[in-house]
């Protein structure tokens, strides 16, 4: 029974962390959609600000914590975090800018939210 209780606590923590991650990512995306670059790292170090570096570091840390909890529970890695990490980094010069990319992410997240209701 102790193992089941421990796994239940880990799962509750995972759910709370995933909710926190989603809220933090949405807040960061909203800031980026308003014109603040750095979240996706399209311009490398040149586009970084202390705020964007801190935001990305917090998201990465929280995402890794979630993935560790998911591994303990035998679950797949956190797909939202994996998608965010994959979307980061330099892009071709003709790629959409970070504000448009952030807005597309927000639109997709809002659509997923309404589909699950």
Give 28-87 as a 3 state SS string. HHHHHHCCCCCCCCCCHHHHCCHHHHHHHHHHHHHHHHHHHHHHHHCCCCCHHHHHHHHH
Cβ proximity of 91 and 42 under 8 Å: yes
What's the pLDDT score for residue 3?
85
Domain ranges of the chain: 2-116
Position 50 scores a pLDDT of 87
Chain centroid to Cα 109, Å, comes to 11
Average pLDDT rounded to a whole number, residues 106-114? 89
Average pLDDT score, the chain: 93
pLDDT exceeds 70 at position 1 = no
The rounded Cα 14 to chain-centroid distance in angstroms is 14
pLDDT of residue 83: 97
The sign of the CA dihedral 44, 49, 53, 55 is negative
Q: Is the pTM value of this prediction over 0.75?
A: yes
Give the percent of the chain with pLDDT over 90.
75
């Amino acid at each position: 029974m102790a193992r089941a209780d421990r796994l239940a606590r880990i799962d509750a923590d995972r759910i709370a962390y995933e909710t926190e991650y989603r809220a933090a990512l949405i807040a960061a995306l909203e800031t980026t959609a308003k014109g603040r670059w750095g979240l996706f790292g399209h311009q490398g170090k040149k586009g970084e600000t202390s705020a964007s570096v801190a935001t990305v570091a917090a998201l990465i840390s929280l995402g890794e914590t979630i993935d560790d909890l998911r591994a303990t529970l035998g679950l797949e890695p956190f797909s939202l975090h994996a998608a965010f990490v994959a979307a980061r980094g330099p892009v071709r010069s003709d790629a959409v800018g970070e504000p448009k990319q952030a807005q597309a992410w927000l639109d997709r997240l809002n659509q997923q939210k309404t589909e699950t209701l």
